[in-house]
Amino acid sequence: MRHGHRPLWLLLLASAVGGCDSQVAPDYPGEPLVTLRGQVTSSSPLPLPQLEVGLLWQRGPPPSTTDEQLATRAAVKGEFPAQFMLRLYHPAPEAARLRLRDGEVRFARANAAVLPVGVAQPEGAFSNVSSIAYAVDTQHWFLFLEQSVQAGSLTEWWLGGALGSGYHLLRVEATDPTCLLPPKLAACVADLVARGVPDAPPGAGEATSYCSASYRLLPVSFDEGITLQIGAVPAPSTAGCP
């Protein structure tokens, strides 16, 4: 009968071992809020172990890229076209959060860039990214929204939709303001005035400035991925208006 019962110390040991299975390592960052896959291509040979992809949060008004903060870095793996994976575990840094105007939801935007390993440090600000980056993806923005965008707001118009809170990927499409016909410009200004954006003096105010911007934003899926091209990038065609 005595052999049919386990000693108390064995039961306690089994319980302790079983409990370890559910513990999480102290350096485990948790599940990422969003994951983006992409690739790096190059027209010239570069040593891959000396490259990494960084996410540069833009702290100035859009679409400027003169005041940036590096918050996330990812290794570049394989041969060209080399693969990378950016995982974001935290909301955007406070220093990068802005509003288009009072009463609008706060947002933060970032661009991906190919950087030399060890040149830029996390949480460090630098203002001349072209001097240290091999390539910058200006065709996409990572966007973080503190709250869902209100329908009928300026931010909804700017982003191309009433996006929810959290992270989004936006395609940045270049436009030529001189191609905007007067009737379309007038309709755009009237739309923004109805959203509470003033246009004073008429035809040269804030609403006209937004409508005449040289870019438009289009929300896209993170599954689209991005490509960072090192070397010469063909300039967009300017042969006439569409």
Residue 239, domain member (yes or no)? no
Residue 7, domain member (yes or no)? no
pTM: 0.81
74: Cα separation from own chain's centroid: 14
Question: Are 79 and 180 within one domain?
Answer: no
Question: Are 51 and 119 within one domain?
Answer: yes
Residue 226, domain member (yes or no)? yes
Question: Are 96 and 188 within one domain?
Answer: no
Residue 148, domain member (yes or no)? yes
Q: Which residue has the tokens 């070397």?
A: 231
* Mean local confidence (pLDDT), 181-202: 96
Residue 125, domain member (yes or no)? yes
Question: Are 226 and 196 within one domain?
Answer: no
Question: Are 200 and 142 within one domain?
Answer: no
Q: Give the pLDDT of residue 7.
A: 55
Question: Are 98 and 134 within one domain?
Answer: yes
Percent of the chain with pLDDT over 70: 76
Closest CA to 58 of 143, 130, 165: 143
- pLDDT category at 213 given cuts 50, 70, 90 is very high
**Helix ranges restricted to H, 129-180:** 154-159
Handedness of CA 67, 71, 75, 80 (dihedral sign): negative
Whether the Cβ atoms of residue 121 and residue 70 lie closer than 8 Å to each other: yes
Residue 205, domain member (yes or no)? yes
Q: What is the Cα–Cα distance from 30 to 89, expressed in whole angstroms? A: 7
* Mean local confidence (pLDDT), 183-210: 96
Q: Between 6 and 188, whose confidence is greater?
A: 188
Question: Are 37 and 155 within one domain?
Answer: yes
Whether the Cβ atoms of residue 238 and residue 176 lie closer than 8 Å to each other: yes
Domain span at residue 198 reads 176-213
- pLDDT category at 82 given cuts 50, 70, 90 is confident
Q: Which of 33-47, 83-97, 153-167 comes out lowest in average pLDDT?
A: 33-47
Q: Residue 106: phi, psi to the nearest 5? A: -80, 145
Q: Give the pLDDT of residue 18.
A: 47
Question: Are 38 and 157 within one domain?
Answer: yes
Question: Are 168 and 180 within one domain?
Answer: no
Question: Are 56 and 142 within one domain?
Answer: yes
Question: Are 55 and 164 within one domain?
Answer: yes
115-154 pLDDT, tens digit per residue, is: 888 765 555 555 556 567 888 898 999 999 999 999 999 9
Whether the Cβ atoms of residue 129 and residue 136 lie closer than 8 Å to each other: yes
Residue 15, domain member (yes or no)? no
Number of domains making up the chain: 2
Q: Give the pLDDT of residue 86.
A: 86
Residue 9, domain member (yes or no)? no
Question: Are 165 and 223 within one domain?
Answer: yes
